[in-house]
Amino acid sequence: MNNLQEAINNIRIIDGHEHIDMYEVRKERNIDFFKLIHYLESDMISAGMKRDILYGKSPLSDKEKAEHFLKYWDKTKNTTYALMIKDAMEGLYNMEDWSVKGLLALNEKVKAKTNDRSWFKEVLNDKSGIDLAFTLVQTTDVDFSLFRPILFLDFMFRLRGPADIEFIKKKSKMAIHSLKDYQAAVRVIIDNLVKDGMTASKLGHAYWRTLYSQKPTYHEAEQVFNRLKSGFINGGLSQQEAMTLQNFLIHYVIQCSISNDLPIQIHTGHQETSVSRNGNIITNSKVTNLIPILAEYPDGKFVLLHNGIPYHQEYLSIVKNFTNAYADFTWSYIISPTLAKQLLHQTIEMVPMSKIFGFGGDYNSVEGTYAHQKLARKIVGEVLTEKTEANIFSEQEAITFAKRIFRDNLIDFYKIEV
Ligand SMILES: [Zn+2]
């Protein structure tokens, strides 16, 4: 291993984006090996596996699950999602025997760790070199010695029926009879979340509608709101009908985030089938759809997640030009290491280094994060080695760069104390 790679392997990472539930939730969900496979499940579904067959109320016994897993493992073991599971299981559980018998033994080991409170710290701090991870678990009640919370705020603008308004009413403990009341309630919820330690807002709407938001007037939004509020008989509006109100509220949530000096993470690009439960509509996630928002809010701090893949070339132009847009490599290395490598090369060529965030595992288990950070360090090492060979960076400059994107930039930008 060269010096540069070794230095990169020793960086204490600040992990910008995960979905890791706290210990209590993991325990309650009885997380075993089959529930750990996360992204690999998507590839298995893509290869023909029945959705949920390894999860929740699956009718299969553990032995049948293992047989099922192997059937689809055989079809998917080429993908990076599969390689990550393999690496995590071999690195953390000494897995060697990828047979039914081996999987059943592994399953017992995973279950034992689900009941071991020290496991998270061991995997994140000791084995992954991660000091702190931002996690999206819809609560600020997280272990602050390892995590910082980020919340999806889609529930504030994904309005389709009276129940969605009721939810905001309950959460804010405020009466809601008008759009003005609704806005006041949303503001109170955001202000309280910030007080409780929310580190950033997250907008995930590319999963369920276009990122493009027109800017309706208050009156236009109010008309939809009032229809929706009185829609208890027919049960709500279609997505098309609700769009105007949603657009208005997306602007409002952004405004509330900015007034709290809160960074805004936005999902751009590829959608995950295990999340959306279908193939989704990739064009909804086009990063160019965000240009009007970026132009309107120069004071916003917009973290554009996942490099906009497969719209990564437009993404690079946008992040290069807009002062308020930041490049974030969350998820990217495991979507395609080859693409991530090329993208990092281009990002170094195009984007100020103060605007690049190098790692977010995007996993819902610490095991996935462990494997992902290893891959990320390797790719960053390869790219920076090539950059030093091309005399773009000295070795010291390359190390400084890696430290910025894996750690220092996040500490400065999110204003966290470690
Ligand atoms: Zn995510």
Q: What is the pLDDT of residues 272-313, one digit of tens each?
A: 987 777 888 999 999 999 999 999 999 999 999 999 999 999
- 26 C-alpha to ligand 1 centroid (Å): 18
Residue 161: per-residue pLDDT: 87
What is the band of 232 on the pLDDT scale with cuts at 50, 70, 90? low
- The C-alpha atoms of residue 123 and residue 20 are separated, in whole angstroms, by 12
- 17 C-alpha to ligand 1 centroid (Å): 6
Residues in the chain, total: 418
What is the band of 233 on the pLDDT scale with cuts at 50, 70, 90? low
Average pLDDT over residues 167-171: 97
Q: At what angle do helices 162-172 and 218-229 cross, to 10 degrees?
A: 100
Structural contact between residues 59 and 96, judged by C-beta atoms closer than 8 angstroms: no
- 335 C-alpha to ligand 1 centroid (Å): 13
- 61 C-alpha to ligand 1 centroid (Å): 31
- 218 C-alpha to ligand 1 centroid (Å): 31
Sign of CA dihedral 320, 323, 324, 326: positive
- The C-alpha atoms of residue 239 and residue 281 are separated, in whole angstroms, by 15
pLDDT at 92 over 90: yes
Residue 55: per-residue pLDDT: 84
Q: In this structure, are strands 130-135 and 13-18 parallel, antiparallel, or unpaired? A: parallel
Cα–Cα nearest to 393, from 2, 14, 4, 7 = 4
Average pLDDT over residues 171-199: 97
Tell me the C-alpha to C-alpha distance, in Å, between residue 400 and each of 234, 265, 414. 59, 25, 19
Which residue, chain included where needed, has tokens 């409002």? 252
Tokens of 74: 């055989």
Let me know if 299 is exposed, middle or buried by CB neighbors in 10 A (0-12, 13-18, 19+): exposed
Whether the model clears a pTM of 0.85, i.e. scores above it, the answer is yes
| More confident position, 329 or 238 | 329
What is the band of 234 on the pLDDT scale with cuts at 50, 70, 90? low
Sheet arrangement for strand 356-357: 13-18, 130-135, 147-152, 200-203, 264-267, 302-305, 325-328, 356-357
Element holding 45 (H helix, E strand):
helix 39-46
Average pLDDT over residues 209-232: 92
- The C-alpha atoms of residue 398 and residue 379 are separated, in whole angstroms, by 13
Q: Which amino acid is at 417?
A: E
- 19 C-alpha to ligand 1 centroid (Å): 6
| More confident position, 6 or 231 | 6
Residue 230: per-residue pLDDT: 83
Tokens of 216: 């309706």
Residue 181: per-residue pLDDT: 98
- 207 C-alpha to ligand 1 centroid (Å): 11
Tokens of 154: 């889609």
Average pLDDT over residues 183-188: 98
Mean of the per-residue pLDDT values of the chain: 96
- The C-alpha atoms of residue 284 and residue 269 are separated, in whole angstroms, by 8
Highest mean pLDDT among 49-53, 129-133, 414-418: 129-133
- 99 C-alpha to ligand 1 centroid (Å): 31
- 268 C-alpha to ligand 1 centroid (Å): 10
Cα–Cα nearest to 268, from 244, 248, 243, 294 = 294
Kindly report which listed range (213-222, 251-260, 271-280, 297-306) carries the lowest average pLDDT score.
Answer: 271-280
pLDDT at 56 over 80: no
Structural contact between residues 279 and 296, judged by C-beta atoms closer than 8 angstroms: no
- The C-alpha atoms of residue 77 and residue 99 are separated, in whole angstroms, by 14
